Amino acid sequence: MSDSSVLRLSRSVCVFYVCFLVMAAAPDSPLYLGLDFSTQQLKVVAIDGNLNVVHQDNVQFDSELSEFRTQGGVHIHADRLTVTSPVLMWIKALDLLLNKMKRAGLDFSRIRALSGSGQQHGSVFWRKGASQTLNQLDPDRSLHHLLQDSFSVWDSPVWMDSSSSQQCQDLQAAVGGALRLAEITGSRAYERFTGNQISKLRRSRAEDFQDTERISLVSSFAASLFLGGYAAIDYSDGSGMNLLDIRTRNWSRICLEATAPHLDRLLGPPLPSMSVLGPVSSYFVHRYGFSESCKVVAFTGDNPASLAGMRLQQGDVAVSLGTSDTVFLWIQEPRPALEGHIFCSPVDLQAFMALLCFKNGSLTRERIRNECAAGSWEDFSAALKDTPLGNGGNIGFYFDTMEITPSAVGVHLFDSDDHEVSSWSPHVEIRALVEGQFLSRRLHAERLGYSILPGTRVLATGGASSNREILQVLSDVFNAPVYTIDLSSSACLGSAYRALHGLVAESGVSFFDAVKKAPKPQLVASPNPTAKQVYDEMLKRFAQLEDRVLHKTCS
Ligand code: XUL
């Protein structure tokens, strides 16, 4: 080869190499970070401007921070009702996660905005003077060293806590009953809701309470770390406290007064979920190389963040089919009830979301599969295919364990004349279980203000969402097309989407316009033409029979 061809070749290799570097590193292309402080782990995902996931990582609390001796990320106390997590464990997890990301070569300077989510309802009590510490974090030291004296309560109450029954009763009595409380705050009093936890702590640990200068939710606590100052509680996660008036989107005076004196000072004013709270603190700029202009967008609860991750829109309903089944709804006109929760929407200032939890989900489906289909999902599916819509009028309620929605227990089977029966053929039983579960999801969703309109989509997620025949029944009962969506890290992904949206929200760009490049859900089932007639009628009978079951269970 001549010298000139060697020169030409090496020049082209050079040009190719430079192009490759530019393409691979894309040094200026922006990234958006989403974090999720959930019960058992801290997760992170980074997306690029095209909404592709470019990085993900996590820290498992039990195994990677074993010095805190948690099980499933929590400590269950001797009374079995009190459940807490060490606040320093969450902080140490963040130190660990950021170091892992640094080692993996993530270029923090590309991150334009970050947001996050936290398990809902949990509370963090900052000690007097903590704000000053947060404000001047020394980048040469880890966060958990710097903040070790910053909390008046080390063991934060979390959503699994159910030790505040007395405070729930007191709050409901103070505002004029459970329904009145639900009308104001979107939920009747629940033990895990933050206001009742604050009320309990004020009485049981008066000195620690006196020593507190700020109370955060897990979400706003995590945002405070990034901000180097106290972050506001956002409207959506704030709705899980039994303290926020979900219509005025401000703290409810009557609820505050019934909970603790001067509580508004300890909570700070709530803010819209899409608010930019400020730039990241200089600690992150110097220690990890974040850009000084990287913005912190308000953090929110894990369920609201999941709604964002699913990009649930007006008219949609998301049904997650897991150990317990959950239903999320986009609600325009809320009708708070004694069951379920209404939260302000995390992505739209005019809207609301409803959350319903059903305890008897997958485990009951597996029990009936084992008993009626010899453990085979194929045979279970075949039974659904072989039986008619409406199951010849047979209706079943399967509450193997005490159900949350509605609060009833036991198995109750009714024939087409509403007579109670003791058993059915295996095929009838399989359809009765699946129809009964979905009729219940629809009935309770409608009671919270949901209605099936043209264009309604059902987004199905979770383990059972891979079974087409189950999804066909879901589609028929809701008389709407069913789409599936992978939700393995929906809260984290939703947080990254929210970070991106936060940057443009003030200029009027809607969440859905900001995330329109995200992957589309897949259509998997469309309703049978006869479904509407069959299930609209069946739902009325189902509601009456459920009342009968409730009376039977309660008496
Ligand atoms: C919702 C709730 C849980 C937690 C779990 O009300 O208590 O889903 O948010 O992280």
Domain that holds residue 454: 311-485+521-555
Residue at 304 is within a domain: no
What is d(CA 97, CA 183) in angstroms, rounded to the nearest whole number? 40
Residue at 397 is within a domain: yes
- Same domain for 378 and 268, yes or no, is no
Residue at 306 is within a domain: no
Residue at 317 is within a domain: yes
Q: What is the pLDDT of residues 492-544, one digit of tens each?
A: 999 999 999 999 999 999 999 999 999 888 999 999 999 999 999 999 999 99
In whole angstroms, what separates CA 328 from the centre of its chain? 9
Q: How far is the CA of 469 from the centre of ligand 1 (A)?
A: 29
Identify whether the C-beta of residue 401 lies closer than 8 Å to the C-beta of residue 379.
no
Residue 407: per-residue pLDDT: 83
- Same domain for 319 and 288, yes or no, is no
Query: HSE (CB half, 13 Å, CA atoms) of 514?
Result: 25
Q: Closest ligand 1 atom to the C-alpha of 118?
A: 10
- Same domain for 64 and 205, yes or no, is yes
- Same domain for 388 and 525, yes or no, is yes
Q: Which of 275, 298, 321 is the last residue of a domain?
A: 298
Q: Closest ligand 1 atom to the C-alpha of 302?
A: 9
- Same domain for 420 and 536, yes or no, is yes
Q: Whose CA is nearest to atom 7 of ligand 1?
A: 159
Q: Name the CA dihedral angle for 275, 88, 37, 122, rounded to a multiple of 10 degrees.
A: -80
- The response to whether residue 120 sits with its C-beta less than 6 Å from ligand 1 reads yes
Identify whether the C-beta of residue 1 lies closer than 8 Å to the C-beta of residue 16.
no
Residue 466: per-residue pLDDT: 80
- Same domain for 255 and 318, yes or no, is no
CB under 8 Å to 469, separation ≥6 — which residues? 380, 381, 382, 384, 385
Please give the tally of structural domains in the chain: 2
Q: How far is the CA of 473 from the centre of ligand 1 (A)?
A: 27
Residue at 404 is within a domain: yes
The residue written with tokens 């060697």 in the block is 6
CB under 8 Å to 374, separation ≥6 — which residues? none
Peptide bond into 406 cis (omega under 30): yes
Residue 10: per-residue pLDDT: 46
- Same domain for 318 and 289, yes or no, is no
Residue 16: per-residue pLDDT: 40
Nearest CA-CA partner of 237 in 218, 260, 253, 224:
218
Identify whether the C-beta of residue 122 lies closer than 8 Å to the C-beta of residue 85.
yes
Nearest CA-CA partner of 518 in 352, 358, 310, 319:
310
Length of the chain: 555
Q: Low-confidence residues of the chain, pLDDT below 50?
A: 1-25
For 243, other C-beta atoms within 10 Å of its C-beta total 28
Q: What is the best residue among 36, 85, 120, 353 to mutate for testing ligand 1's pocket, by most ligand atoms within 8 Å of CB?
A: 120
What is d(CA 290, CA 110) in angstroms, rounded to the nearest whole number? 8
- Same domain for 211 and 63, yes or no, is yes
Instruction: Locate all alpha helices (DSSP H) within 480-530, ordered by sequence.
Output: 490-505, 511-514
What is d(CA 419, CA 397) in angstroms, rounded to the nearest whole number? 13
Identify whether the C-beta of residue 318 lies closer than 8 Å to the C-beta of residue 461.
yes
- The response to whether residue 302 sits with its C-beta less than 6 Å from ligand 1 reads yes
Q: Closest ligand 1 atom to the C-alpha of 190?
A: 6
Q: How far is the CA of 203 from the centre of ligand 1 (A)?
A: 25
In whole angstroms, what separates CA 112 from the centre of its chain? 24
Q: What is the best residue among 357, 448, 492 to mutate for testing ligand 1's pocket, by most ligand atoms within 8 Å of CB?
A: 357
What is d(CA 219, CA 45) in angstroms, rounded to the nearest whole number? 16
Q: How far is the CA of 287 from the centre of ligand 1 (A)?
A: 33
Residue at 247 is within a domain: yes
What is d(CA 317, CA 443) in angstroms, rounded to the nearest whole number? 13
- Same domain for 248 and 323, yes or no, is no
Q: Whose CA is nearest to atom 3 of ligand 1?
A: 120
Helix, coil or strand: residue 156: strand
Q: How far is the CA of 119 from the centre of ligand 1 (A)?
A: 6
Residue 422 phi, psi (nearest 5): -100, -25
Q: Whose CA is nearest to atom 9 of ligand 1?
A: 120
- Same domain for 270 and 331, yes or no, is no
* pTM score of the predicted model: 0.86
Residue 490: per-residue pLDDT: 85
- The response to whether residue 303 sits with its C-beta less than 6 Å from ligand 1 reads yes
- The response to whether residue 39 sits with its C-beta less than 6 Å from ligand 1 reads yes
Which CATH number covers residue 451? 3.30.420.40
Q: How far is the CA of 166 from the centre of ligand 1 (A)?
A: 21
- The response to whether residue 142 sits with its C-beta less than 6 Å from ligand 1 reads no
- Same domain for 25 and 152, yes or no, is yes
Q: Whose CA is nearest to atom 1 of ligand 1?
A: 120
- The response to whether residue 119 sits with its C-beta less than 6 Å from ligand 1 reads yes
Residue 26: per-residue pLDDT: 58
Residue at 273 is within a domain: yes
Packed helices 165-175 and 178-185: angle between N→C axes, nearest 10 degrees: 80
- Same domain for 183 and 321, yes or no, is no
What is d(CA 43, CA 58) in angstroms, rounded to the nearest whole number? 4
In whole angstroms, what separates CA 97 from the centre of its chain? 21
Q: Which of 266, 298, 330 is the last residue of a domain?
A: 298
- The response to whether residue 73 sits with its C-beta less than 6 Å from ligand 1 reads no
Q: Closest ligand 1 atom to the C-alpha of 341?
A: 6
Q: What is the best residue among 36, 42, 159 to mutate for testing ligand 1's pocket, by most ligand atoms within 8 Å of CB?
A: 159
Q: Which of 265, 298, 331 is the last residue of a domain?
A: 298
Residue at 509 is within a domain: no
Residue 452: per-residue pLDDT: 83
